[in-house]
Chains A and B, each alone.
Chain A
Amino acid sequence: MDQKTDFMTETEKQLLNIIQSDFPLTSRPFKELATKLCISENEVIDLIEDLKKRKIIRRVGAIFDLQKLGYKSTLCAIKAPPQRLDEIAEIVNSYSGVTHNYGRENEFNLWFTLIAKNREELSRLLKEIKEKAGVDMILDLPAINLYKIRVDFKL
């Protein structure tokens, strides 16, 4: 199917390659980008707004390391009876600390990430989800080690 980047100009690609990780931390960042790309500050601003409208840029801002902010996260899995999977998924979804929630092909058929301010809160939330969902067990699989996390896409 059509790839969104097929419809991007060279300037747009150059812009995106810069601003993924090297967004200028200066008083007038868009002016600085404009100088790099040989266009005007307003043109840079318009391009970025357009790329957002086209949903190529989701947002411009900071991605925080949740652990350095003091938060804790874990990956959880539930063995949901197939006829109750959607219902249990909705219960899990109702928690704001649940960021990703997927059905998967396995006995453990519901997988979700849970984030909270500390381990005690994580345990409390898991206990609550377990009770509300009416399941015997939730697998709690916090990362012990991280070997890779992809950062950039080269366009």
Chain B
Amino acid sequence: MKDETINFTEQEKALIRELQEDVASISAPFKSIGDKVGLSEEEVIAKIRDWKEKGIIRRFGAAIKHHKAGITANVMVVWKVPVEKAKEIGSIMASHPAVSHCYERPVFPQWPYNLFTMVHGKSTDECRKIADEISDKTGIKDFKLLFSTKEYKKSSMKYFID
């Protein structure tokens, strides 16, 4: 992926530290943030808009803990795909509604699977069925389902906290 080096000022980093937390449910939340980092309300709003436009902020809003009724199972499915076909196959896999994430990663002698998909379903059986469906659709026969056995940690990264 492209390497982008953007340098943030200390004030911008302070703003990032505020925005990655929970915005207060008060009448003028951006003024409150501005007061903390030494920016005006307008400057805070302008910065958020600018960063959204640049893709630095992927999304600004409510992060919802939600699952569609009954969709409680998920599995990481890894696929061995010829490198020259990875983009084409990756796009097909990504278009399946049960697939939430699809990444291409490098391979090693001990690990030949280069496409990674997160698949969601109502049960482990349904997840298996969906993986078979995707296999049929793409013609990729070499794949593995890595169901999770235990969640050891699930947290959000906090940036510019030293």
Contacts and interface: CB of A to CB of B under 8 A. Distances in A.
Contact of A20 (B23, B64, B103, B157): B64
Main secondary structure on B side of the interface with A: mixed
Contacts of B41: 27
A118 B122 CA distance: 38
B153 A99 contact: yes
B127 to A, nearest CB: 12
Given A66-B159, A68-B4, A104-B149, A148 B101 contact: yes
A92 interface: yes
Given A64-B56, A92-B152, A104-B148, A155 B66 contact: yes
Contacts of A22: 61
B57 A63 contact: yes
Interface string A1-43: 1011110000000001001111101111111000000000100
A22 B48 CA distance: 12
Interface in B50-98: 51, 54-70, 72, 76, 86-87, 90-91, 93-94
Nearest to B70: A3
Contact of B152 (A102, A137, A147, A151): A102
B38 interface: no
A61 B110 contact: no
Contacts of B64: 16, 20, 56-58, 153
Interface residues of A, number: 79
A71 B56 CA distance: 12
B153 A62 contact: no
Contacts of B56: 64-65, 68-69
B148 A103 contact: yes
A84 B26 CA distance: 48
Given A92-B152, A104-B148, A5 B69 contact: yes
Contact of B60 (A41, A62, A110): A62
Contacts of A65: 55-58
The 10 lowest CB-CB distance pairs between A and B, nearest first, are: A148-B94, A147-B90, A23-B61, A103-B150, A147-B102, A101-B153, A150-B100, A62-B19, A103-B149, A59-B22
